[in-house]
Structure 1
Amino acid sequence: MPDEPVLAVRGLRYEVADRVLLDGADLEVAPGESVAVVGPSGSGKSTLLGCVLGLIKPSSGSVHVAGADVTRMRRRALERHRSNHIGVVFQFGELLPELTPVENVALAALLAGNGTRQAYERAEELLVELGVPVKGVPTGRLSGGERQRTAVARALMNEPALLLADEPTGALDSVTRDTVAELLFSVPRRWNCALVVVTHDAEVARRADRHLELRQATLTPYAVGGRA
C-alpha cells in the first residue's frame, strides 16, 4: 500500500481584491518526495504556501498536513500542529544574526517546549551533518550558503513531516545556489519528509521529483529540462 500523502491540497480557491490567485488547486506530496512549483512573481506561489501553513484562509477547499485539515483548526491547535509537523526555509533565512548557528537552530526546539540540553545537542548534530561551523561564530558572519544551510537545519529541528521552501536560493550566487539546492533536495530521502519548493529558477526546480506550474490560478504539470 503506498504511503499516505503528507500534504493533500484539494480544490483550493483564494481571491483578494477581485483577483483570483488560486482556483481549484490540487496537490499531493508523499513522504520522501519533492515537488517544485514554478511561476512568475505574483502568480500565487507564496499564497499557496501561506494556505498550507494556515496563515491564509482559503475561500474554499482543504489543506491536509500530516492527516489534519489546517483550514479548520483554531489558532492554538494550528500553532502546535505547524510546530510539530512543518518546517520552513525562507529566501533570506530569517535567522537572528547575533546568535550562533547552534542557538538559532536550537531555538526552534525550545519554542516547541523541548528541553535545553536535548535541543542544543540535536542542533549541533544537524549543523555538523549539514557542514556549518558550530563554534564561536555569530550567524551574521557566515557566508550566504552557510546561513541557508543553517536555515535548513532549523527547519528540520523538530523532525517535520513537511518541509516548505520559499525561493530558498533567490539571494545566492550561482555556485552557492547549486550547493544549497543539492542539499535541500537530498532532504526528503534522508529524513523521509515531503518537500515543496516554490521558485522562479528552473535550474533549482529541475532537481525535484515532480514539477508543477502555477498558471491561471491552477497547478499544472510543467516540463523542466526535459522532465515533467
Structure 2
Amino acid sequence: MEVRKLHYSVAGRALLDGVDLTLPAGQSLAVTGPSGTGKSTLLNCVLGLIRYEQGEVRIAGQDLARLKPRDLARHRRDTIGMVFQFGELLPELTPMENVAMAALLAGVKRAEAFGRARQLLIDLGVPVEGTPTAELSGGERQRAAVARALVNRPALLLADEPTGSLDTRNREAVAELLFSLPERWGCAVLVVTHDESVAARADHRFALHEGRLVAQAASLPRGVR
C-alpha cells in the first residue's frame, strides 16, 4: 500500500491534509487517534469508497483513481480484506458459511471456497461445524471475521477498531492474532484504533492529528507482547 499527499475535507475541515503512508507486504501498521479525527476516512480512501480531493492511493501497485467503478470493485475484492468493529457477519449462518460466502462471491468454486474456510477457521481457533455465528463468543466472532477477510488471500488487510467491542481477554487475543498475520500469511496489515495497547503491537505506529500522521515511539519487540 502506498498513499501519497492525500487530501480530503468535510465542510471545510481537513480530515486528511497531505497524508503519506507506505506499508509493504509482511509488515503491520497502526493509526491511532480519538473518534472523529479521520481514521475511518483514511480506511475508506484506501478501500476506494471515498473519492479524495488530491493525492494518490496505490494498492498492489494499482492507482485506485485510474480505475473504472467495476474494475475498482474487482481490484478491491481481489487485493483487500476488511475486518469491522462488530464483525458484520450473518448471525444465522455458521462461521464456515460466512467465510465461504466471501470466497463464493469472488468466484471461487464451492469445494475450494469451503475448503479454504474450514482451514482458516481451524487455524484461527473458531468452531467449524454446526454452531450459528450468533452463538459464538465475541472473540470467536472477530476471529471468524478475520478468517472471512483472509479467505480471498488479500495483499492488504484493513481493520477498523477491531477490538473496540471486546472485553480485555478477547481484545488481547484478537490483537495478537491480527499482528501475527503479516508473518503467518505474508500480507500487509493496517489497523486503526483508539486503543494504544493494541497499537503497540504493530511494527509501525502513527497518530492522526489535525489531518496529518505523526510517527509514534517504536512498537514493542516481538516476543515481548
Match of 2:5 among 11, 16, 19: 11
Task: Indicate which of 95, 106, 112 corresponds to 2:106.
Answer: 112
Unaligned segments of structure 2, at least 5 residues = none
2:208 matched residue in structure 1: 214
The answer to whether the 8 A contact 2:86-2:162 is kept is: yes
Cα deviations across residues 82-137 of structure 1 (Å, max 9, x unaligned)?
01000000000000000000000001110101101110011000000000001100
- Structure 1 partner of 2:63: 69
Q: Pick one of 112, 128, 151 that aligns with 1:134.
A: 128
Amino acid at match of 1:150: A
Aligned residues: 221
For residue 35 of structure 2, what is the amino acid of its counterpart?
A: S
CA distance in 1: counterparts of 2:68 and 2:217, whole angstroms: 38
Q: Aligned-pair distance for 1:216?
A: 1.0
Give the match for residue 102 of structure 1.
Answer: 96
Q: Which runs of 4+ in 1 moved over 6 A?
A: 224-227
Choose the corresponding residue for 2:38, options 44, 59, 67.
Answer: 44
Letter in 2 for 1:218: R
Q: Are residue 87 (structure 1) and residue 78 (structure 2) matched?
A: no
Cα distance change of structure 1 residues 199 and 224 upon mapping to structure 2, 3 Å threshold: farther
Following superposition, the deviation at residue 223 of structure 1 comes to 2.5
State the alpha-carbon separation in 1 of the partners of residues 130 and 218 from structure 2. Answer: 41
| Counterpart AA for 1:44 | G
Give the 3 Å change call, closer, same or farther, for CA 48–136 of structure 1 in structure 2. same
1:25 aligns with 2:11: no
What SS does the aligned partner of 1:30 have? coil
Q: Which amino acid aligns with 2:76?
A: R
Q: Distance in 2 between matches of 1:110 and 1:226?
A: 38
For 2:2, the aligned partner's letter is A
| Identity, % of aligned positions | 62
Question: Given the two structures, how large is their TM-score scaled by the length of structure 2?
Answer: 0.96
TM-score by length of 1: 0.95
Match of 2:28 in 1: 34
Structure 1 residue 226 displacement after superposition? 7.5
1:121 aligns with 2:115: yes
C-alpha separation in 2, matches of 1:140 and 1:226: 35
The CA distance in 1 between the partners of 2:28 and 2:75, in whole Å, is 21
Gaps of 5+ in 1: 1-6
